[in-house]
Amino acid sequence: MLTLLDLQLCFPARVERLDDIAGDLCLSHEQHQMFGRFFGFDRFHCDPGQSLHGLLGEAARDLLARNAGADARLSHVIHCHTLPTTSIIDGAHGETLAAFSRHETDVFSVAMGHCATGLSAFNLLEGLLTEDDVALVLIGEKAFHPIIRVIENATIMGEAACAILVGRGNGPYQVIASATHHDGRFAILKGVPHDPSQDGFETAYVDFACDSILRALDGFGIGVADLRRILPHNVNIPSWAKITKKLGIGLDQVELSTLPHYGHCFGADPFINLQHARKREAIGTSDLVLLFSIGLGATASSALISVN
């Protein structure tokens, strides 16, 4: 069984307000009102002057600095990202992973689950890590262009870096199980405006989310009532209102308090919500929580976590 040994989040210091960037994002007046008043977005951490390598490197350094000996034990370093590539291809791997490329350390990227990739990596690591291994999972990328930042009628991206130490044994969070489901009808969906490949996705989205959650919980041998909280991707508030209604639970059982402050930070959202929920004592020892995310494609990934 995997353990989340430690977790570090980093955000660019620069903060943008939705009201100030609506023009840069080419939002109409109606879209501006929709994203703010109805979808719940207000501000985002985003800095075009800060590199992805710098942001992820800061998170990794802070994490390793407070975990003595972890760097020497690293067997795997994985960068989970949404876009197929996060840099110009100029070698075996990009700058972010180059710092960890060394003898006896497996270094690679995982991307095809899009925003669900960070959670999908747990199933991969379950089969890779021995009792003595420690993996460093890096999640994050840059929201560098309006086409990347805005998914039509759905969400707006912010920037965050997440670094996680994963191993076996004692730690603050035990990964009880993980699951991934796909809807191949939307396998080529890109999220760009007016993309015909997304026809029907908006209609199918809520059913896909609910079905994926229920199938995952059934596989884990528990029900929705056994969860203390769902820690989700920050797509928007109305979609989660529909999902929770169909699941038969209250919207207050989903951690959505970070959405106005950070936006949708690609694959980092469930971990932002995990850390925030623990900090404000919305979850505590012995609680079961479900980390959940959907990536374009469509991939839905879940991880059942026991809080220690």
Give the CA count within 13 Å in the CB-facing half-sphere of 280.
Answer: 10
Alpha-carbon distances of 122 from 6, 69, 105, 141, 289, rounded to whole Å: 15, 22, 18, 19, 15
DSSP state of 267: G
What are the C-alpha distances in Å from 252 to residues 229, 282, 283, 295? Answer: 9, 11, 13, 23
**Dist. CA 3–CA 134, nearest whole Å:** 10
DSSP class of residue 268? G
Length of the chain measured in residues: 308
Task: Supply the pTM of this predicted model.
Answer: 0.94
The full DSSP string for 207-222 is: HHHHHHHHHHHHHHT-
H or E, element range at 266: none
Q: Tokens for 297?
A: 């494609």
Q: Which two tokens stand for residue 88?
A: 């110009």
pLDDT tens sequence for the chain (308 residues): 999 999 999 999 999 999 999 999 999 999 999 999 999 999 999 999 999 999 999 999 999 999 998 988 999 999 999 887 776 555 444 677 888 887 678 999 898 888 999 999 999 999 999 999 999 999 999 998 898 999 988 999 999 999 999 999 899 999 999 999 998 787 776 666 666 666 677 889 999 999 999 999 999 999 999 999 999 999 999 999 999 999 999 999 999 999 999 999 999 999 999 999 999 999 999 999 999 999 988 899 999 999 99
Please report, as a single letter, which amino acid is at residue 183: D
Q: What are the tokens at 34?
A: 């929709």
Q: Which domains, ranges and CATH numbers included, belong to the chain?
A: 2-167 (3.40.47.10), 173-307 (3.40.47.10)
Tokens of 18: 């939705």
